[in-house]
Amino acid sequence: MASIYKDKFFCNSDVIEYGANINYNDDYSLISKYYLNPNSYYIIVGRLIPDNNADLIVDGFINSESKKKLIIVGDVPYKDSYADKIKSISDNRLQFIGYIQDRLLLDQLVKHSYGYFHGHEFGGTNPTLLEALSNNAKILALDTIFTREVLKEGEYGLFFNKNKDSVTQLVNTVEEKPYLLNKFAKKGIKRIKERYNWKRIIDLYSNVFNESIK
């Protein structure tokens, strides 16, 4: 956004990202509620809206050779043809579990997945992506300027393009060569500590407020 303001309005701005709490809790027994074992599934977390590209991820996944499950967490609180179309896809590897209100359970589902899919296309620094990092998730993200910034150009995750073939190829690749994804295990917390921690965010806001009242 800072570059947009600079290019379009010829003014400088302060960039303050979002933050996340680090989750040190590790209790994989919670995911047994859904008859899952660690690393036996991929996961998507988010509203079933076009901007989050769940349809693209689901289509790409079911065309892959994976024997793992794809867990879809989220829905929309209204009747919607886009969401209904996704939920109508028939494949025994798909598991739609709707909304999860239990934060601890959601964290454990993300933490113990084989891979966390992040398909959000807009919105800048996304809280859901930061929460995945705070759980040391192994991230597969849509290639956008935002995700590249958060994941530090691939240092903290892998990318796929906005087409189902790219998703299919990535799934097949990380299962043929698990080390490509496993190298991100237990790494995401480092990214939160170095850039997306609340102390840094609060200090940045304090600096802006203090400068504005001088």
Domain boundaries, the chain: 25-200
Q: Is 79 helix (H, G, I), strand (E, B) or coil?
A: coil
The pLDDT tens digits of the residues spanning 168-189 come to: 999 999 999 999 999 999 999 9
What pLDDT shows up at residue 15?
Answer: 84
Residue 153 token pair: 């150009």
Mean pLDDT estimate for the chain: 94
Residue 67 token pair: 């024997």
CB of 41 closer than 8 Å to CB of 70: yes
CATH architecture, domain defined by 25-200: 3-Layer(aba) Sandwich (3.40)
Q: Poorest-confidence range of 152-156, 170-174, 207-211?
A: 207-211
The pLDDT tens digits of the residues spanning 13-43 come to: 778 889 999 999 999 999 999 999 999 999 9
**Above pLDDT 90, what percent of the chain?**
86
CA 13 to chain centroid, in Å, comes to 27
Nearest to 24 by CA among 111, 100, 128, 105: 111
Nearest to 29 by CA among 126, 85, 109: 109
The pLDDT tens digits of the residues spanning 101-111 come to: 999 999 999 99
3 burial via Cβ count (<10 Å: 0-12, 13-18, 19+): exposed
143 CB neighbour count, 10 Å cutoff: 14
What is the average pLDDT across 136-160?
97
The pLDDT tens digits of the residues spanning 41-74 come to: 999 999 999 999 999 999 999 999 999 999 999 9
What pLDDT shows up at residue 48?
Answer: 96
Furthest CA-CA distance within the chain: 62
Residue 139: beta bridge partners?
A: 116
CA–CA gap between residue 61 and residue 167 (Å, rounded): 6
Report which DSSP code applies to 213: T
